[in-house]
Structure 1
């Protein structure tokens, strides 16, 4: 039985089952327990957090976010020059940027990559009809021309989730089997469902300023550990330097440990019930309203997190302190009204067709919320069919609208609402409401911040009126790190290029 470090204690046999076969780690390796396998290394085609966490270390975008969520250049040499009418973005590119295959990035690579993003990525497709052209206007310059102003464009180009990733032009295809990036680390070895080993890219061209990436560890090893309690035990035993998405009830154990400490991100984000608007039961608005009326949000959150230190019963899309916070429509939140739900079922002529809920236990709080929801929905009169699968399977099945009516997921609070793909009809949920579409167009083309806030309040109102999706509340994220680990902070997508481990 191998351990990642000779000086560390191995996990129990059951816990070690997820990592058997991993090689011994070098002294400068950071070992990270994540919730499951990243089923693609192409972040352009995925919105999964686990994909973003892993791929941000070897794939890069033109822009990124700093610690305060401001957009800063990464592969771009500077912020773009934007025309007065807001229709043209001229982006200078850094020179001498090297891909992991040894080739040098130029404007042709960037143009081809952005065109692929507009065609394939969830977030790219959301603006594809507004992009008139993407052109190389110099060897190291790209110009994006729009049909109408689009205020969130730079945030979309900076996001590592459904990312506008830059690849060599030569590998661009609908499916990229071997991803080639420009990041500070590159893939050295991948044993599916066991580990992903990244090593320092020695020819990395370092950006300056807020985007700087120090390449401190020699190696970063991501280990998929689907069971949350196994992630806790691995952290406390010293097997892992960092563990993501820990159950709230493990906080006291981690806090009292001599070898580990908790990292709490408050507020982190919001769990949601994503609704299938493409086909099935919930294409009927009255049935959606019945689900909304039946759900006991406070009970669901308590079951999921156990301690109100870790959650807030809040129906607003953004919490207090955020620019986008508004109470519009929140009178429809947390109704917990079984009588109303039953009446809505009768009004809709509900015939007992099972309501299919898709969830996973890799995010244990998803499953616990689903259990409470099932009881409430059945009490209201729904026949509920709950399917529990691993996260990778859920991620595949949610792309097939014939297999579910609700799937359970979550999102961090994002600085720009337009980064939330669920608002858009191009998302897998397919919520296409004419009034909402008009509001989204107004929101994304408006550049005045105060006017955008007013429009967003109208968008939140229609989310609740039409039951576009169901926000359950706010929650705080618990992660854990070794006391010997430095250079890593609590974050939605933790980064390890500046991490070091004291021996």
Structure 2
């Protein structure tokens, strides 16, 4: 299993540059993002945009290396785990400074992890399983669980809904002071203009080589500016012209234009992840599983993907939540439930559900243009099935705010990278927007989370996927590649699900 993951997941992550010693120090880079993040508190959001920016400011006890294995970051080493799998003893690195120059201790870690279990959707996922989080001494923390819980370290390592470590004296919710231990610190934020990060001179990198999100984090750049550029076409033109040093989330059909640019070069991550329609299972018409099945039955995934990505060079039809050759790949539950494209059969399900023409509120954004294109195609199929479609097109920050209120929507459109651990998927948490919480979900997810043996976990994941297809809390549309662009002068940045700019430098 270990070898499988090294092979399977390494392809989806990062290749670190080998000539870091040749990189030069100094300079400022401008990074074009899809918009303004709704918050800079990565505990409070699962939005990728939040994680991309905040991972430079805040750090976690663990992170992922280039093969998607958990590796220490603020922890000194991997934890000592008791024989019964319930007690994790974590030694901390010493001499780590926060951006206010105070030194990190176990008290900060305990306070931060307690906040995580209350604020973060992934922290709430673990709250009922954690018995206690205590400081053993200034550089040691102990987490005691009520039962074995295999995903704990992956949840502690993830960079959104993240278990960031912040000073014990700054645990407010919402966050008011943005102080972390990261290589860059927040200097200024001008709404809808830029987020300015500057080098933190008190930063202590890990020793050794850079290793994915782990290992050494070099601070070659003086400053990183994240600039919101909501319009996808504007991002494309900016990439071709070399207006920014890095441009995130480009429509894949712009690949040839970017490739032909003298200023920028394409950055392709293949495969990246999957678009997904998330249902509100707690409120409104989609609380009814037959309504959700009617939506899925009506849709043509093939037409949506073609509209969103154009060429099959950039997408593929795939019902499994993980594609081959990922170790988690399984076809459990998918037969006859994917790419059905049968509005007439969907209409029959609507009658069974007692549908009376209530608006089906679909929440989407044009900042991810492929979301919007899929929504347009979906709307036509859904209208043919008899749905009264209410398309609500908003900016991404507004979407992430609205989806937190179960009274405001029925479906929201998003996407996810292929994550190293299925427990990281949003819908695995009952507090994630969508609020999927049923007895079948609990039975399957609890069995998966408590399984420690890799082969048993694979079999348990197949059971979870089957329940997802049975109860339809979400619809996976297919697999797709992600495209970004970087300046010809930018070094040390490779394709990554959440691009990062420690270890980046500018060719002089």
TM range, smaller chain: over 0.9
Aligned equivalents of 1:300, 1:154: Cα separation in 2: 36
- TM-score between the two structures when normalised by the length of structure 1: 0.94
* Structure 1 stretches of at least 4 aligned residues deviating more than 4 Å after TM superposition: none
Tell me how far apart the structure 1 counterparts of residues 431 and 458 of structure 2 sit (CA, whole Å). 23
Structure 1 counterpart of 2:287, from 279, 283, 286: 283
Matches within 5 A, 1:36-185: 36-185=35-184
- Report 1:478-489 matches (<5 A): 478-489=483-494
Whether 1:201 aligns to 2:205 is no
Distance 2:264 2:173 in 1: 43
Partner of 1:311: 315
TM-aligned CA deviation for residue 27 of structure 1: 6.5
**Where does residue 34 of structure 2 map in the other structure?**
35
| Partner of residue 251, structure 1 | 255
Contact 1:300 1:368 in 2 (8 A): yes
Superposed counterparts of 1:244-393, under 5 Å: 244-331=248-335, 332-393=337-398
TM-superposed deviation, 1:424: 2.5
Q: Give the Cα separation in 2 of the matches to 1:421 and 1:345.
A: 27
In 2, Cα distance between equivalents of 1:226 and 1:425: 30
Q: How far apart are 1:85 and its partner, in Å?
A: 0.1
Match of 1:396? 401
1:82 deviates by 0.1
1:22-63 per-residue CA deviation (whole Å, 9 max, x = no partner) reads: xxxx96111110101122111111101111000100100000
Whole-Å Cα distance in 1 between the matches of residues 242 and 484 of structure 2?
A: 15
Match among 469, 483, 498 for residue 493 of structure 1: 498
C-alpha distance in 2 between matches for 1:442 and 1:329: 17
* Deviation for aligned residue 1:188: 1.5
Instruction: Tell me which residue corresponds to 1:4.
Output: none
- Please state if 1:428 is matched with 2:433: yes
Distance 1:348 1:251 in 2: 44
Deviation at 1:329? 1.4
Q: State which of 241, 264, 278 in structure 2 corresponds to 1:237.
A: 241
The alignment's TM-score, normalised by the length of structure 2, stands at 0.93
1:244 aligned counterpart, secondary structure: strand
SS in 2 for 1:414: coil
Separation in structure 2 between the aligned mates of residue 394 and residue 416 of structure 1, nearest angstrom: 26
Q: How many residues align?
A: 478
Deviation by residue 1:89-140 (Cα, 9 ceiling, x = unmatched): 0000000000000100000000000000001100000110000000000110
- Contact 1:259–1:483 under 8 Å retained in 2: yes
1:228 to 229, 232, 241: 232
Query: 1:432, CA displacement in angstroms?
Result: 1.1
> Aligned to 2:178, what secondary structure does the other structure show?
coil
For the 8 Å contact 1:30–1:499, the answer to whether it is kept is no
